[in-house]
Amino acid sequence: MRGGPGVELRQLRYFVTVAEELHFGRAAERLHIVQPAVSQQVRRLERELGVTLLDRSPRQVRLTRHGERLLPEARAAIAAADRVSAVAAGLSTAGRCVLKIGTGPGLSGRLVRGLEALRRLVPETEVEIDSRPVAEQLEAVRTGELDVALVRAGDDSPLVDAQTLRSTPLWREPVQVAITAAHPLANGVSVRLDQLAAVPARMPRDTCDPLIRGFFLDACRRAGFEPRVGRPAGALHDTLLELGAGSPAWTFVYGDAAGLAGTDRVAVLPVEPVPTITGSLITSATRSTACVEVLRHAFSTGQPALPAPALTAPVVS
């Protein structure tokens, strides 16, 4: 059986319907078209594939050996196409396929890979990126102003209004410490968190990013101390500038941001033992499971979420 570039999804639908009914007339009724159109499209499919799929006689229609072989593949291809259509509909806003994503610092690389994977599945998707504070992102997802948000949090960090929001863990990543280069600890190859107990910690306000603040507090408490809270942290870039120019202080850095933090005024050190933070996809609790699954695969692995055989069946153009 050869696969041809001219095979259309419509032809596969017609073939599957005839194969299920074993009657062209009944198949035409199910498809709400005239019988000659069904016969014509199935004939074109057979010519394109170079095989006979149906044995036709005045009294009955039955599948050939090639037809039996093609039928499950055709069903899989149709199911994959229908699933992509359903996802596109689920992602759409106001009739357009626009995905509004809330995101934060250090996520640019993962965001690029995830969007590339998403566009392979739903090519017509348009994306709008929103970088408002995490607390506002959570509220915007809850109200529908944002479709999804990518956030970081500790494993035990509770969501705001968890009854209306769904948190789907995507990845785990190590956390490092950025500290003023003038501090003696900056000369080491690593740092323990308890060594920072006397150094002010720059962490976000609870009203700005309750998830990261909760991670800060939990990590320090597990290390055996209550952190000495310094001035609230703002944008990471601004906080690092202040670390380099001001009195001793420290903050956490993670993801893509870690590579941007080290300067002659700020040192970035690994932590022993290594704390990790979880990246999660935040969606409305009412968003369809199919949409969440596609987004989960896209942003956790950068790979298509749909089964490869269903998308790459040799008969699909």
pLDDT tens per residue across span 25-46: 999 999 889 999 999 999 999 9
Residues 82 and 102 in one domain: no
Q: What is the CATH number of the domain that holds 211?
A: 3.40.190.290
Cβ neighbours, 10 Å, residue 307: 12
Backbone angle region of 32, left / alpha / beta, with phi > 0 → left and psi within -120 to 50 → alpha: left
Quick one: pLDDT band at residue 161, thresholds 50, 70, 90?
A: low
- The pLDDT score that the predictor gives to residue 310 is 31
Asked, for residue 312, whether it belongs to a domain, the answer is no
Asked, for residue 112, whether it belongs to a domain, the answer is yes
Asked, for residue 63, whether it belongs to a domain, the answer is yes
Please state, for a pLDDT cut of 90, what percent of the chain lies above it: 36
Quick one: pLDDT band at residue 111, thresholds 50, 70, 90?
A: confident
Is residue 306 pLDDT above 70, yes or no? no
Please state, for a pLDDT cut of 70, what percent of the chain lies above it: 83
Residue 80, SS3?
helix
167 vs 8, residue with greater confidence: 167
Residue 233: exposure state from Cβ atoms within 10 A (0-12, 13-18, ≥19): buried
Q: What is the average per-residue pLDDT within 109-130?
A: 81
Among candidates 41, 1, 7, 4, which has minimal Cα distance to 24? 41
Q: Where does a domain end: 27, 58, 91?
A: 91
Residues 51 and 181 in one domain: no
Residues 119 and 189 in one domain: yes
Residues 112 and 163 in one domain: yes
Residues 156 and 251 in one domain: yes
Mean pLDDT over the full length of the chain = 81
Asked, for residue 311, whether it belongs to a domain, the answer is no
For residue 57, give its domain range. Answer: 9-91
Query: What pTM was computed for the model?
Result: 0.63
β-strand partners of 167: 282
Among candidates 209, 185, 183, which has minimal Cα distance to 277? 209
- The pLDDT score that the predictor gives to residue 104 is 80
Residues 122 and 223 in one domain: yes
- The pLDDT score that the predictor gives to residue 122 is 72
The position carrying tokens 């969007």 is 115
Residues 70 and 133 in one domain: no
- The pLDDT score that the predictor gives to residue 57 is 84
Quick one: pLDDT band at residue 177, thresholds 50, 70, 90?
A: very high
- Specify the number of domains making up the chain: 2
Q: Where does a domain end: 60, 91, 122?
A: 91
Range with top average pLDDT, 37-46, 115-124, 236-245: 37-46
Q: Where does a domain end: 37, 69, 91?
A: 91
As a whole number of Å, the end-to-end CA separation of the chain is 15
Residues 204 and 133 in one domain: yes
Q: What is the CATH number of the domain that holds 57?
A: 1.10.10.10
CA dist 212 and 235 (Å) reads 13
